[in-house]
């Protein structure tokens, strides 16, 4: 199941802002800007991406995973559970 319509605009807006930040980072490097400033901007981009990741994770849990569990299909529920565990392990 794709991202809910209610969340899609917010997520795409955030990703557009991140895209702009990335272009700004490239310009900073091309313009030989101070490394500390570049690193600060990289940190900001990483935090913004984490925020988008949390929003998509929440959407996934509230839709795809919940649907799999409620379906009564034990295999689908187990696959969703395993998927979430795998995603969480990547974050830790």
Element (H, E) at 29: helix 5-30
Task: Please give the CATH topology (third level) of the domain spanning 5-91.
Answer: Methane Monooxygenase Hydroxylase; Chain G, domain 1 (1.20.58)
Helical packing angle, 5-30 and 35-60, nearest 10°: 160
pLDDT at position 33: 97
Shortest CA distance to 51 belongs to which of 6, 11, 8? 11
Tokens of 25: 């980072």
pLDDT at position 5: 80
Q: What is the pLDDT of residues 46-70, one digit of tens each?
A: 999 999 999 999 999 999 899 999 9
If you average pLDDT over residues 61-90, what whole number do you get?
91
Buried b (16+ CB within 10 A) or exposed e, 15-51: eeebeebeeebeebeeeeeeeeebeebeeebeebeee
Q: What is the pLDDT of residues 31-50, one digit of tens each?
A: 999 999 999 999 999 999 99
pLDDT at 88 over 90: no
pLDDT at position 4: 83
With pLDDT > 70 as the criterion, what percentage of the chain qualifies? 98
Domain boundaries, the chain: 5-91
CA atoms within 13 A on the CB side of 18: 18
pLDDT at 91 over 80: no
**pLDDT band, residue 1 (cuts 50/70/90):** low
């Amino acid at each position: 199941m794709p991202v809910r319509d209610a969340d899609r605009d917010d997520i795409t807006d955030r990703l557009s802002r991140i895209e702009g930040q990335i272009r700004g980072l490239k310009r900073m490097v091309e313009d030989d800007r101070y490394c500390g400033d570049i690193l600060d901007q990289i940190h900001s981009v990483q935090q913004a991406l984490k925020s988008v990741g949390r929003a998509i994770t929440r959407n996934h849990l509230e839709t795809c995973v919940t649907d799999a569990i409620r379906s009564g299909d034990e295999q689908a529920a187990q696959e969703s559970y395993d998927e979430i565990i795998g995603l969480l392990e990547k974050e830790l």
